Amino acid sequence: SMLCTVSAPKTSIPPFPKSPSFRRTHLTPTRLRVSASLPGSDGAKVEYTPWLVVGLGNPGNKYHGTRHNVGFEMIDRISQETGIPMNTIQSKALIGIGSIGEVPVLLAKPQAYMNFSGEAVGPLAAYYQVPLRHILLVYDEMSLPNGVLRIQPKGGHGFHNGVKSVMQHLDGCREFPRFCIGVGNPPEDAMIIFVDAALEQGVDAVRTLVINGFDSRITRFNLGQKYKYHKV
């Protein structure tokens, strides 16, 4: 009877048609869940291997807030929003460990200059046993217009020295996801406004990515970002 009332309100939320897999987990009687206490019992949807979110930038106050340091800005924002304090220095980077949802997340800001960021990222990823597909690189991308974000499961370096160095130190592999923050080329003065707005949207996107992986939500996010200045 109590459990009946539990199930009733669930069905009262029809306007969210979800993908069938979610509906399945939704409607399975939760009585099962109560007793199940195995870790990773529904690991089908979530991968609990840790994520390493690295923001590229140049250390020091001199470079604080410059165009190419948007990676650092994004990591700062993520750490604020998720409550992961960045308080450890390891392997030439400032890191913070926490989790988003069930998924452990490492935020890192390499303190090596941009061209040598790989020296910080490689050993870090190796030490914490982060698989290649869970290393998210956040960096500034000049080919995107100001404030446009894009999340890709893999890609090239786009002549970004930081990304090149990271690729080199990750054993020459390019198959790690990237979070590109658009800064236009040539640089504009009004960049800061666009980028600030974009940072907020970005934090949410990172959360979705970490929890759900690459799916249609990310595609929709990318599309929305691509056309966000073409709205009236």
Partner 1 sequence: MALKTLIQFPIFAPPDPHPRHSATEIRFSRWNNANAEKFTRRERTQKQIEDQLRFHKRFDSANRIANIHENATATTTTFKSTGTPSTPSNPSIPGKSSKYSKNPRNGNPHPAFQRILKSQKVPNDDVAAETGVKIGENGVSYLVPEAPFEFQYSYTETPKAKPLRLREPPVAPFGPSTMPRPWTGRKPLPPSKKELPPFDSFQLPPPHKKGVKPVQAPGPFLPGSGPKYVRSREELLGEPLSKEEVDELVKGTKKSKRQLNMGRDGLTHNMLDNIHALWKRRRVCKIKCKGVCTVDMENVREQLEEKTGGKIIYSQGGVVYLFRGRNYNYRTRPHYPLMLWRPITPVYPRLIQQIPEGLTLDEASEMRKKGRKLTPICKLGKNGVYCDLVKNVREAFEACELVRVNCQGMNGSDYRKIGAKLKELVPCVLISFEHEHILMWRGLDWKSSLPEPIEDPEDVTIDELDDAVNVTPPLEGQALSVSCPASLNTSMSRLGSEDLGVEGGKDLIEERGRDLLSDTGCVGEDPDALTKSLESTKIFDSTYSDDDDTGTLSVRCEQLRGSSDDTKIHTEPTSVVSHVSKSSSVCSPSTDGVLLLWKQAVEGGHAVVLDDYCLDSDTVYEKAVALAQTAPSGPVFRHRPKKVAAKRSEIQETGESQAKEIVNVSERKSDRSSSRIHSKRGFSEGYLNVVPRRSLGVDELAKLLA
Q: Which of residues 48-67 bind partner 1 (CB under 8 A)?
A: 48-50, 59-61, 64
Cis peptide before 186 (omega within 30 of 0): yes
Helices then strands, counting H and E runs in the chain, come out as 8, 7
Build a one-symbol-per-residue string for 93-112: x at contacts with partner 1 by CB under 8 A, - elsewhere. xxx-xxxxxxxx-x----xx
Euclidean distance between CA atoms 8 and 14, whole angstroms: 12
**Taking contact as CB under 8 A, which single stretch among the options 75-83, 136-144, 151-159, 185-193 is the one that binds partner 1?**
75-83
Q: How far is the CB of 27 from partner 1 (least distance, A)?
A: 10
Residue pair 200/125 in contact (Cβ under 8 Å)? The answer is no
Nearer to partner 1, 185 or 223 (CB): 223
Q: Which amino acid, 102?
A: E
CB neighbour burial string for 172-193, b if at least 16 within 10 angstroms, e if fewer: eeeebbbbbbbbbeeeeeebee
Q: How far is the CB of 192 from partner 1 (least distance, A)?
A: 17
The two structure tokens encoding residue 86: 């960045």
Contacting partner 1 within 167-226 (CB under 8 A): 169-173, 200-201, 203-205, 207-208, 211-212, 216-217, 219-221, 223-226
**Taking contact as CB under 8 A, which single stretch among the options 44-52, 136-144, 152-160, 182-190 is the one that binds partner 1?**
44-52
Contact residue for partner 1 among 186, 189, 190, 230 (CB under 8 A)? 230
Contacting partner 1 within 131-170 (CB under 8 A): 132, 169-170
Euclidean distance between CA atoms 48 and 181, whole angstroms: 26
Nearer to partner 1, 18 or 153 (CB): 18
In the set 26, 68, 134, 169, the catalytic residue is: 68
Q: How far is the CB of 122 from partner 1 (least distance, A)?
A: 4
Euclidean distance between CA atoms 48 and 121, whole angstroms: 20
Check the CA dihedral 26-27-33-36 and report its sign: negative
Contact residue for partner 1 among 55, 70, 114, 122 (CB under 8 A)? 122
Nearer to partner 1, 39 or 186 (CB): 39
Check the CA dihedral 71-179-75-162 and report its sign: negative
Q: How far is the CB of 171 from partner 1 (least distance, A)?
A: 4
Annotated catalytic residue 26: no
Euclidean distance between CA atoms 77 and 99, whole angstroms: 15
> Would you name the residues annotated as active-site residues?
68
